[in-house]
Structures are given as C-alpha cells and as structure tokens.
Structure 1
Amino acid sequence: MRPGSPGRRVGLLAAALLLAVAGCTGDPPAPGRAGERWVPRPGTAWEWQLDGRVDPRADVPVYDIDGFENSADDVRRLHREGRRVICYVNAGAWEDFRPDRDAFPEAVRGRANGWAGERWLDVRRLDVLRPLMERRLDMCREKGFDAVEPDLMDGYLHDTGFPLTARHQLAYNRMIARAAHERGMAVGLKNDLPQIPALVRDFDFAVNEQCAEFGECGRLVPFVRAGKAVFHVEYALAPAEFCEQSRRLGLSSMRKRLRLDAWRRPC
C-alpha cells in the first residue's frame, strides 16, 4: 500500500547466482505449471517500481512492478535476465485510472483513501469483488508474472465508509491468496500486521512499508521464521536508521522515494 496508509542484463552465471539467492533454481517456471510455487527466501534483494514501465537496471533477483502498466514483453525481459517478477494490483481500493474501473459497481466504492482517484472497496462483498479480482489475477498470469502483490489488504483498520471487521478482512485476504495460488502464482501479504499470525500460512511472502518508522518490524518475524521473505521499504528514514535492525531480523529492506520510481538505496 502507499506510505502512511491505513508497492542490465546480466551474464548467465550472474543470473544463476541471483536465482540461488532468491531460493530458485533454473529458469522461472511458467505461471500455472504444476509443481511447487516460488517462495522467496528471507533476505532476498528486490526492486519495487510502480511509477511507469519498468527500468531493468537494478541488479537484483526480484522485481515488483505495476501489473497494468507493464507488458508481457517487460516480464519476459526480466525473466531472461534471471529475475522473478511480482505483479502489483490494488485489491482494496477502486481506482478511476484503471481500464476496468467501470466494472466496479458504485455500491462497493467507499470513501476516498487519501490518494487521487482512489476509494476503498467493500471487501465484505466477495460475490462482487471475487470475479473482478480474478480477472486482474488472470491478467498477471497471462503476462507471465511469478507472483502477485495485492495492495490495501487492511481496509478494516481504516475509515472506509463500510463497517468492516477483522473477520471480513481475513475472509477477503484468504480469497485473494487462494485465487492467486489457483493460478500458479505466489502471493504476498501487504502490511496488515495484526493479522500476520492468522495469515502467514496463506501467503508466500510479505510486503511492508515503514515498519521501522513506526516501530513495528518485529511483527513481521513470523514470515522470516517460516522461511518467507519480507520485502520492506522506508521513505523517511535513512538506511543507517533501519538497516542494522533489518539485517538482524532478516528483512529485505531499502529506502525508496514516495513515488516509487527506479531510485533505491538498499541495505
């Protein structure tokens, strides 16, 4: 989710080494192929770029990029360079700038969430949102992504305009996780720290913003203990202020700018 909310070609040898670090062997599998899902290991380096089409120059084994704004060719290029690729989609808010915006009934659009053109979704309405989210996951699979980062998975903690509870959020988050797994993709839990103990088995990694700034990084340790990566960013803190703790906890941490362009300062 966004902050404060309530995401060069290398040689064959280098690519193989990067895949080993990421807990992978061989070429990235075709999404949906039978067999074990990719589960990124703790400490795996990553890049997170949601501002426009991907810039492939970061020398890391995992890229997390916008599913709508990047093409199957972009994903294939990253695969050829030995990278795993995560598909960012917004699962918790309606966005007026997406091509499927008109498919979301007005009744499931709640209050503005603080970002231009976005409104919270009524995650109680699984009957309405499941097919819409499945279409987004189908898009990720068809473009060849290895995994999904569904954003805004903690609406129950915020003023959405709907009487959401932790139980509603658990049901919705598990629905998203099952739908991703049914399509052969890994799936990450975005923020939602209070429900990590209940959801760590359902998700293959975590994505977190600003846990160091808010003194919450320890709450992500269940993912690390389960052998699953925690992809973490800070916006306001300098690396010297959080990297020591990140290394101690086993997080994959870096500093990013708020707009999530290609700039990064990893630990």
Structure 2
Amino acid sequence: MHARGAARLRAGALLLTLTALLSGCTSAPEPAPEPAARDHWRPEAGLGWQWQLSGPLDPAVDVPVYDIDGFDHGTAAVDGLHRRGRKVICYLSTGAWEEFRPDAGKFPARVLGRGNGWKGERWLDIRRTDVLEPLMEKRIAMCARKGFDAVEPDNMDGYRNRTGFPLTAADQLRYNRLIAEIAHRHGLAVGLKNDLGQIPELEPDFDFAVNEQCAQYGECAKLSPFVKAGKAVFHVEYELPVTRFCGQSRRLGLSSLLKKYELGAWRQECPQPRG
C-alpha cells in the first residue's frame, strides 16, 4: 500500500474514533427533576383564632391565626397581620359560584346549579374538573401571591345537598382531594370545611379542619381524627351560648368561638377553665 493511502486509512480510523467519542459526550442530557412542592404551615391542635369575613378588618385580636376573605384583602393586609405574628388563612369558595366575585364571568352556565341558600351563590358541578381545576388553581395561586399561609375552601360538601347535579360521595372525595393537592402545590396549608361524613377518608389529605355548628347538631366528636393527628380544628357556633359548648370543646381539643352569622369582627372565646 502506498504511504499516502496508509496515512489516509489511519486518519479515517482516527476520525471515526473521535466521532464516536464526541457523540457520547454530546448525547441529550437527562431532564431535570420537577421542583418539589414548597413546604407549608401545619397548624397544631388548640391554636386560638379569629374568623372575620365582613366589615373593616380588625387586626388587633391577640390570637395566632386569622381567617379572612381572599378576594377582599390584599398583600398589605396579610403583611400587616404577619408583622403582628399571625398566620393568615385565605377564605375562598371552591364548591359554589358567587356572582359578586371578579372572576364570576369565567364560569360557564353548564357548571352552575341550584342556589346554596346564600344570595347570589349557586352550587358548582364538581364533576367538571376540566372546567373548575384551572379556575380554582388561579384563585389559590392568588392566595399564595398575596402571602397567605393557608386556604379555607368553602362549600366542600355539595354531594349532601340539592345542587341540581347527581353528585356522589366519590365525586366529592375526588374534588376535595384535588383542591388539597392544588393548595399544597402552591405551598399553602389547606383546611377541610365541614364535610364531617368524609373525615376518615380525607383527614390525611388536609392540614386542619374548619367547622360550623357541630355542637348544635351533636357532631363534634366526628372531628376527633384531626385532633388525634395533632391538627387544629377551628370551630364556631352561632346560636348556642358558650356555656353550652365550651366544656365539650375543651375535652375534644377544638379551637372554638361564638360568632354572629355575618362573621364580622365580634367574637366570644370560650372562658379559661378555673384553676
């Protein structure tokens, strides 16, 4: 073989070797793992709280937790409560449509059911997660943007009411878990509102509970799974005097208040037991 031909063969072999090495080095990198969800607050059983959804916000109540309307209050209100050492819960309706909310026009008529007993509100067809998930994601993202620590999603027990839709317990479980997942995805704690019948299934998915009138209807013991798990149960009564429910609340470990139906600033705490 001529020397020039041998040199050409050696050069070709070297080129093949370099090409193989380079192809191994330039292979597509593995996709980066998705970022983990941000850690969130976990309210402990027995925390004192204030629930105010109407009237000028009174930030001076000396309790560690406030629950306020997510649409009505902005970053300044949340920051102000944080400066006072409060954790702040964002109240939202996730199971009913409210005509007075700024995003009301984004809900198509096909997901609106019967009225839920409050003026301007109608139950939602929670089976239609294709419609509702992006809308609820935007609402919960709003709470996170404003700096809230948690979400109180309301109207989470439509399957037990006359909604205009044939909702089942399984539909409610799926929807409630979806709301909890969205909240956690945004780094927020999330509370189970009422829905006492599904507490055994849903307690692991939620960080605390919010309940209305369990004492009046003899249902407070159903909230025990939350307390046994070390999780707060924020509870209000409207029609019973504190002497009728505070003893039971202390025994069960509930964080109980007497409030008026309009949920303004007025509140009455359970008196401290005598030493």
For the aligned residue pairs, the C-alpha RMSD in angstroms reads 1.3
Q: Quick check: 1:53–1:69 contact (8 Å CA) kept in 2?
A: no
Matched, 1:258 2:261: yes
- For the residues of structure 2 that align with 1:208 and 1:137, how far apart are their CA atoms? 20
Deviates more, 1:67-76 or 1:35-44: 35-44
| Ranges in structure 2 where 5+ consecutive residues have no aligned partner | 1-34, 271-275
Which whole-Å deviations, capped at 9, do the CAs of 1:17-63 have from their partners, x for residues lacking one? xxxxxxxxxxxxxxx99764211111100000000442102110000
- For the residues of structure 1 that align with 2:145 and 2:58, how far apart are their CA atoms? 21
Pick 1 or 2: higher relative contact order, CA cutoff 8 A, min separation 6.
1
Match of 1:218 in 2: 221
AA partner of residue 132 (structure 1)? L
Could you say what secondary structure the match of 1:87 adopts? strand
Say which of 79, 84, 91 aligns to 1:88: 91
Off by >4 Å, runs of 4+ in structure 1: 32-35
Match of 2:11 in 1: none
Q: CA deviation at 1:133?
A: 0.3
Say which of 30, 38, 42 aligns to 1:39: 42
Say which of 72, 76, 83 aligns to 2:75: 72
TM-score of the two chains, using structure 2 as the length reference: 0.84
> CA distance change for structure 1 residues 87 and 53 in 2, over 3 Å: closer, same or farther?
farther
1:225-244 matched pairs, under 5 angstroms: 225-244=228-247
Matched, 1:119 2:115: no
Q: Quick check: 2:212–2:236 contact (8 Å CA) kept in 1?
A: yes
AA partner of residue 252 (structure 1)? S
- For the residues of structure 1 that align with 2:198 and 2:70, how far apart are their CA atoms? 25
Aligned length: 236
Match of 2:192 in 1: 189
Match of 2:150 in 1: 147
- For the residues of structure 1 that align with 2:239 and 2:155, how far apart are their CA atoms? 20
Q: Quick check: 1:46–1:231 contact (8 Å CA) kept in 2?
A: yes
AA partner of residue 141 (structure 1)? A
AA partner of residue 209 (structure 1)? E
